């Protein structure tokens, strides 16, 4: 029996992974509370799950290493990714970041978009992501250039990463019936999801029309809502009500919902109860919300230390059975100056921020099976006979070891084989320098 982590070549088509530690939510069959297990991989699929090998085949010892299914990231913004490398600066507030991105649209060429998006996808693949949902800022009624580029990327990346596309539309655009119709037709024609940015004070009639359009065109709803810390304003209860009314609860996802943290417990619980009853899913976004929420400066312009946490109340949501996931959100753009589209690093941050107990045992589903289900992926990410052997294997044996050294020694298997060559390596940031230079040349020519 060979140690897997010392095996640097392709694996045979038929083999056992022995002494694997698998979080219970990712495992079907056996006593899910006990470990380790042995996984039989045959022609890229899981053929059996046992306590120990039961048939003849090559054996690779994991020595208690953690096995996860490849990640599903439900909330990213590939169109804005790496705008800091193009010369933009981090913003102080959410609306400052929105304004900075919108002002930059005129600089987005097809080539730059394609390369920035490709850079993000290569990064996500190397970290172990198999599917992600990206938003596209909707700057034109019939769709922006970025929508076209993302559709092409969806085709180019098929078989490596499943790319879901969500139009991110200002809810005010649905105040006009003709504009709402054009947007909905364009999103449906592009095989996308209808996303909304719903700000405090948004017209509830526009939100209703958006749900009407989604129901008419068979579109899933994906809403940025309550991204602020100013109670008692909340839109989530109205969204839950509309989702129930139009029969879209199971196809509605809401992200952010930071303001729930600031509500009185009774009001917060009332809203979460409504969300649970409607069947709406929630996505928590620690990176961007921690960075932008409660951002302030002193009178002389210095940074002030934030006092409030911009994070959705995940424990209270989970206790109600609300489908829940963590998402990467922005990466290296005016909204957040870091991030690398790594769901495992994201889980480490969520553990710190939300004080998660036993994060791998109890919360691994939030970056794997839960988003796979509410995004409607063909495979829910649970290991069972017949499932794809799409795995992320980390040498750490428990939460402390994995999340303490997130990037150390990770192996990604796609259909039972390790990623190799450039797919296994994170792209070099220096690749983006030429895009910055091309911008400079365009503006000075």
Q: In the prediction, which pLDDT does 33 show?
A: 63
204-218 pLDDT per residue, tens: 999 999 999 999 999
166 backbone dihedrals φ, ψ, rounded to 5°: -125, 120
Beta-sheet strand order (sheet of 58-61): 2-3, 58-61, 14-20, 37-42, 45-50
Q: In the prediction, which pLDDT does 251 show?
A: 98
**116, 60: one domain:** no
Active-site residue numbers? 227
Find out whether the peptide bond into 36 is cis, omega within 30 degrees of 0: yes
Residue pointed to by tokens 């951002």? 295
Q: Is residue 436 part of a domain?
A: no
Compute the average pLDDT of residues 421-433: 97
Q: Which segments of 54-176 does DSSP mark as H helices, in order? A: 94-104, 110-127, 145-156
What is the C-alpha separation between 392 and 139, in angstroms, rounded? 37
Work out the mean pLDDT of the chain and round it to a whole number.
95
**245, 162: one domain:** yes
Which residues, at least 6 apart from 175, have a Cβ–Cβ distance to it below 8 Å? Answer: 203, 205, 206, 209
**43, 126: one domain:** no
Q: Is residue 442 part of a domain?
A: no
**171, 25: one domain:** no
Q: Give the CATH number, domain containing residue 395.
A: 2.30.40.10
**175, 316: one domain:** yes
Tokens of 216: 């008419």
181-195 pLDDT per residue, tens: 999 999 999 999 999
Q: What range does the domain containing 342 cover? A: 71-374
209-261 pLDDT per residue, tens: 999 999 999 999 999 999 999 988 889 999 999 999 999 999 999 999 999 99
Q: Is residue 430 part of a domain?
A: no
Which residues, at least 6 apart from 37, have a Cβ–Cβ distance to it below 8 Å? Answer: 20, 22, 27, 30, 49, 50, 51
pTM: 0.97
Q: For residue 131, give the 3-state DSSP assignment.
A: strand
Q: In the prediction, which pLDDT does 152 show?
A: 98
Model confidence band, residue 441 (pLDDT cutoffs 50, 70, 90) = confident
**234, 275: one domain:** yes
Last residue of a domain, one of 339, 374, 409: 374
**369, 400: one domain:** no
**120, 151: one domain:** yes
Q: Work out the percent of the chain whose per-residue pLDDT is above 90.
A: 92
Q: Is residue 381 part of a domain?
A: no
Checking if the pLDDT of 93 tops 80, the result is: yes
Domains of the chain: total = 2
19-61 pLDDT per residue, tens: 999 999 999 977 766 679 999 999 999 999 999 999 999 999 9
Burial of 175 (C-beta count, 10 Å sphere; 0-12/13-18/19+):
middle
**178, 238: one domain:** yes
117-174 pLDDT per residue, tens: 999 999 999 999 999 999 999 999 999 999 999 999 999 999 999 999 999 999 999 9
């Amino acid at each position: 029996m060979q140690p897997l982590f010392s095996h640097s070549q392709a694996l045979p088509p038929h083999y056992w992974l022995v002494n694997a530690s698998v979080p219970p939510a990712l495992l079907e069959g056996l006593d899910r509370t006990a470990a380790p297990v042995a996984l039989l991989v045959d022609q890229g699929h899981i053929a059996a799950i046992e306590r120990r090998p039961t048939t003849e085949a090559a054996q690779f010892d994991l020595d208690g290493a953690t096995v996860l299914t490849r990640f599903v990231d439900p909330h990213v913004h590939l169109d804005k990714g790496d705008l800091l490398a193009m010369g933009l600066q981090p913003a102080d507030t959410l609306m400052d970041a929105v304004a900075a991105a919108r002002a930059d649209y005129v600089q987005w060429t097809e080539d730059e978009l394609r390369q920035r998006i490709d850079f993000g996808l290569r990064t996500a693949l190397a970290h172990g992501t198999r599917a992600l949902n990206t938003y596209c800022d909707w700057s034109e009624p019939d769709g922006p250039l970025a929508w076209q580029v993302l559709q092409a990327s969806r085709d180019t990346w098929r078989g490596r990463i499943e790319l879901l596309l969500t139009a991110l539309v200002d809810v005010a655009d649905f105040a006009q019936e003709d504009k709402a119709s054009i947007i909905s037709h364009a999103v449906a024609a592009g095989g996308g999801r209808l996303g909304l940015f719903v700000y405090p004070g948004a017209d509830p009639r526009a939100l209703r029309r958006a749900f009407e359009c989604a129901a008419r065109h068979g579109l899933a709803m994906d809403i940025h809502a309550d991204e602020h810390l100013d109670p008692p304003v909340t839109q989530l209860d109205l969204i839950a009500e509309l989702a129930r009314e139009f029969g879209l609860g199971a196809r509605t996802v809401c992200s952010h919902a930071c303001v729930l943290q600031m509500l009185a417990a009774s009001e917060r619980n009332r809203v979460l109860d409504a969300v649970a009853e409607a069947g709406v899913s929630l996505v928590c976004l620690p990176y961007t919300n921690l960075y932008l929420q409660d951002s302030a400066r002193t009178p002389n312009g210095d940074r002030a230390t934030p006092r409030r946490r911009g994070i959705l109340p995940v424990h209270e949501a989970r206790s109600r059975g609300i489908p829940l996931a963590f998402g990467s959100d922005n990466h290296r753009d005016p909204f957040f100056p870091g991030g690398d589209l790594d769901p495992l690093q994201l889980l480490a941050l969520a553990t710190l921020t939300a004080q998660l107990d036993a994060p791998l045992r109890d919360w691994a589903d939030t970056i794997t099976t839960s988003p796979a289900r509410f995004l409607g992926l063909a495979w829910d990410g649970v290991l069972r006979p017949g499932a794809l052997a799409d795995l992320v294997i980390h040498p750490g044996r428990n939460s402390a070891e994995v999340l303490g050294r997130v990037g150390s020694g990770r192996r990604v298997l796609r259909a039972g084989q390790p990623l190799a060559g450039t797919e296994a390596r994170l792209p070099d940031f220096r690749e983006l320098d030429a895009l910055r230079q091309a911008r400079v040349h365009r503006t000075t020519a």
